[in-house]
Amino acid sequence: MAKDKSKNFKNILVPNMAPIHFEIFRNILRHMGYQVVVLTNSSNNLIQEGLRYVHNDTCYPALVVIGQVLDALKNGNYDQETTAVVLTQTGGGCRASNYLKLLRKALNRAGYEKVTVLSMNLASLEKDNHIHVTFKMIHRMVAGLVYGDLLMFLGNQVRPYEKEKGKTDQVIKKWVDKLSDEINHGHALSIRSMKKYTKQISHDLASVETIKKDTIKVGVVGEIFVKYSAVGNNNLEQFLLDEGCEVRVPGIMGFVLYSISARMDAIELYGGSSFKHFIIKFLYNYVLKMENVMIKAIEEEKKFAPMLPFTHTKEIAKKIIGLGAIMGEGWLLTAEMAALCEEGFPNIVCTQPFGCLPNHIVGKGMIRKIKELEPNANIVPIDYDPSATKVNQENRIKLMLSVARNDTK
């Protein structure tokens, strides 16, 4: 096999999305020889940089990501010839497949013609400029995904009640470092090892001293970038925490399972290779096993409420929306809102980026249908785009919270 040329770059810039997950991913990739730098720059300049070089009618997450890259290049003293930017691509009819062309055009216009743009995908896209995805890399990254979801999920259940401010994040940081080291040395990867480490993580976070207090339980759903990215959603989770809420954000594993499931369903509905279906189903069942390990570890600690399994979320979807709705976050977004209501998080912020028509349909467009199934649902769709002000967004969320407070009286 030819040597992966992407390992020659001194800096491979990666726009941030989910801080816990991306720190683990960075550590894994650096150990494999990729000099990854996860971008943490966040200011109003990002949007302005994006607007200078990307049309304001384009997808808002694309504008933010490109703005973050350009801001970093202007302020980070990166040498053009030894610097690359990497973005993931899904191969679907969405932003995740089309960012690279927009980014390349913006870099050229801004004077960064020599900066290389790399793709990371499983769909054989951008064959001349991509990071070679190997089974070893997938295995380690998927393990990192499981642990990242667990740390995020449990951290959100402890953080609002912690007696010592910042203690939850200290425990999470300790585990991010430990798990990165274990994964890089070939450990913490098997199902058996995952059972061990997920139990230890659950126990460790359950041991954080907490204070009983009333909180409003709020779920966050939406397009994958603005759902997780503090830069994309104006630090939504911190705002909700400051407002006295316990926040629940469905894990990235749900989106991975949805993506695998959609490919499997497509073959069953419309026909296709039986061998391909066998491989996809094998992968699907393996990821479900890892999800089950995570759920079991949470259930063993009585302090925590576990998430619903993906298979249950999919059954919920069948009552509301067709499984053929797979553009954007597709039926998953609709199902996650209904699932949050079932989990005791009826107050929901649905993050909607400008320019993302599919998610407006399966998000905002399905609220009435969800309320027919879950009458207690208190959902507010929030638009994120260059012209939307943070004050307006937060005022609309505060109105939703005031309804939630009245409902609990």
Q: What is each CA distance from 8 to 100, 110, 243, 299, in whole angstroms? A: 20, 24, 46, 45
Q: Average pLDDT of the chain?
A: 89
Give the closest residue to 51 by CA, choosing from 110, 113, 123, 100: 110
pTM for the full predicted model: 0.92
87 - beta bridge partners?
Answer: 119
CA 215/CA 311 separation, integer angstroms: 29
Encode pLDDT of 124-178 as tens digits: 444 556 677 788 888 899 999 999 999 999 999 999 999 999 999 999 999 999 9
Per-residue pLDDT at 345 exceeds 90: yes
Q: What is the CATH number of domain 215-251+307-408?
A: 3.40.50
| pLDDT score of 93 more than 80 | no
Q: Bigger pLDDT: 30 or 327?
A: 30
pLDDT digit string (tens) for 303-326? 999 999 999 999 999 999 988 888
SS3 323: coil
245-248/216-222 β-pairing = parallel
Q: How far apart, in whole angstroms, are the C-alpha atoms of residue 241 and residue 395?
A: 15
Among the residue ranges 31-40, 47-56, 247-256, 334-343, the one predicted with the least confidence is: 47-56
CB atoms < 10 A from the CB of 182, how many? 17
5-132 belongs to CATH 3.40.50: yes
pLDDT of 1 higher than 50: no
Q: Are 26 and 38 in contact (CB under 8 A)?
A: yes
Kindly state the tokens that stand for 98: 């089309």
Query: CA-CA distance, 51 to 56, in Å (whole number)?
Result: 6
Ordered by start, the domain boundaries in the chain are 5-132, 215-251+307-408
State residue 18's pLDDT score. 93
Return the closest-CA partner of residue 298 out of 113, 153, 88, 408: 153
CA dihedral in degrees (227, 230, 233, 236; nearest 10)? 90
- Which pLDDT belongs to residue 103? 87
Same topology for domains 5-132 and 215-251+307-408, yes or no?
Answer: yes
